[in-house]
Amino acid sequence: MDIKVKGITEAIIRQGLEQALAARLAILDKMVAILPEARTEMSEFAPRIITIKINPEKIRDIIGKGGATIRKIQEDTSTEINVEDDGTVEIAAINADNSRAAIQMIEGLTREVEVGGLYLGRVTRIMGFGCFVEILPGKEGLVRIGELATPHQGHLLRPLRDALVEEMSACSKDESFPVKPQKIIWDLRTAMDMEDIVICDVGAHKMWMARMFRCEYPNTCIISNGFASMGIAVPGAVAAKLAYPDRKVVAVTADAGFLMNSQEIETAMRLGLALVVLIWNDNGYGLIKWKQLNQFGRPSNVDFTNPDFIKYAESFGAKGYRIERVADLLPTLEKALADNTVSIIDCPVDYGENLKLTAKLGEMVCPI
């Protein structure tokens, strides 16, 4: 033995080696007891370098413009990524989570979209014809709305709407005089803006208005139902104009109902409110006559004469117009609506249409 230290005998060495062997075997026993074989998985928290293989043609997808994509992956996952020309990608990560995240991003970028494959994606843009969905990172697909929707069968109420529109427009060009209720309503609707307000009185004119006045916005056609008290239209129009000074307001009334509260023209004039009062003039209680004819076949005590509504209007300082030909109705309405005062229009009405309506309703078959 070539020992430089003096005093170490062969016996000491032999004893030392025997002790070391015993100690080593004891340590190994302990190790086997705790970990009998090597772990198949690394600890989640162990740093690692993972190598994966990608299609070399996809390398540019991982690198991105000027290296932007790979830089983003490295930043987002706190990894170091090295890409070889043959498609070998080495990912150095400080733990399993980070390496998994980086692998996922790389696989997402290099994965091919399979026809018939199922993908969970994020909607990126909604268009009129469908929406774009990002199914893989940077890869979008179009989902056509037609593929998701069941074919539209048309609204169930469509036939009813069509029937109403047909009925409303049937008299739009009618030239008879006195004016038919349908034609009065057609011209009124034409002259008024959709947001303007009409307040309707009670009588035969109300039946027609409720049936045919096309109302686009809530609370733009107020009708006295329930108590159905005549005389509501003029004071109602005063109230509507006070509530909505920027909208035009029309009181649709008739000769009897108008006379019940016509003193409120004074209120409107005093308050400087611009209103149009459209009087459907039949020289009678039209609705009552209608009911009597239906019930008894003859009218009784429902006709009367009216004052001169034009002179009456002028006596309040308001404007008065008399419709003498059907063609005058629309331009008169338009003029009155443009006026900044109270305008009263006396429009003779042909209630001969009332009984025709009753007959038609009796025969009517529901259009839906």
Ligand X SMILES: Cc1ncc(C[n+]2csc(CCOP(=O)(O)OP(=O)(O)O)c2C)c(N)n1
Minimum Å gap between C-beta 204 and Mg ion is 7
Minimum Å gap between C-beta 226 and ligand X is 11
Range 253-292, binding Mg ion (CB under 5 A): 254-256, 282, 286
- Number of amino acids touching Mg ion (CB under 5 A): 5
Identify which of residues 205 and 241 has a Cβ nearer to Mg ion in the complex. Answer: 205
Identify which of residues 279 and 326 has a Cβ nearer to Mg ion in the complex. Answer: 279
Does 202 interact with ligand X (rule: CB under 6 A)?
A: yes
Q: Which two tokens stand for residue 296?
A: 């008894």
How many CA within 13 A on the CB side of residue 184?
27
In the list 228, 242, 243, 355, the residue contacting ligand X (rule: CB under 6 A) is: 228
Q: Of 187, 211, 353, which is closest to residue 286 (Cα–Cα)?
A: 353
Partner interacting with residue 257 (select from ligand X, Mg ion, none; CB below 5-8 Å by kind): ligand X
Minimum Å gap between C-beta 257 and ligand X is 3
Identify which of residues 89 and 252 has a Cβ nearer to Mg ion in the complex. Answer: 252
**Cross-strand pairs, 79:** 93
Identify which of residues 73 and 344 has a Cβ nearer to Mg ion in the complex. Answer: 344
Q: Of 284, 251, 265, which is closest to residue 178 (Cα–Cα)?
A: 284
Range 233-292, binding ligand X (CB under 6 A): 254-257, 280, 282, 284-288
At a CB cut-off of 8 Å and minimum separation 6, what does 198 contact?
Answer: 188, 192, 209, 213, 220, 221, 222, 249, 250, 251, 252
CB 236 within 8 A of CB 251: yes
Distance of CA 190 to the CA centre of its chain: 27
User: 27: burial class by Cβ within 10 Å (0-12, 13-18, 19+)?
Assistant: exposed
Q: What DSSP character marks residue 185? A: H
Does 178 interact with ligand X (rule: CB under 6 A)?
A: no
Residue the block writes with tokens 């790979």 = 70
Stretch that binds ligand X, among 160-168, 170-178, 226-234, 308-316 (CB under 6 A): 226-234
In the list 88, 176, 229, 294, the residue contacting ligand X (rule: CB under 6 A) is: 229
Minimum Å gap between C-beta 289 and ligand X is 8
CA distance 198 to 210: 11
Does 230 interact with ligand X (rule: CB under 6 A)?
A: yes
Asked if the peptide bond before residue 178 counts as cis, ω within 30 degrees of 0, the response is: yes
Q: Which residue is nearest to ligand X (CB)?
A: 203
Which residues in this chain contact ligand X in the complex, by CB under 6 A? 201-205, 228-231, 254-257, 280, 282, 284-288
Which residues in this chain contact Mg ion in the complex, by CB under 5 A? 254-256, 282, 286
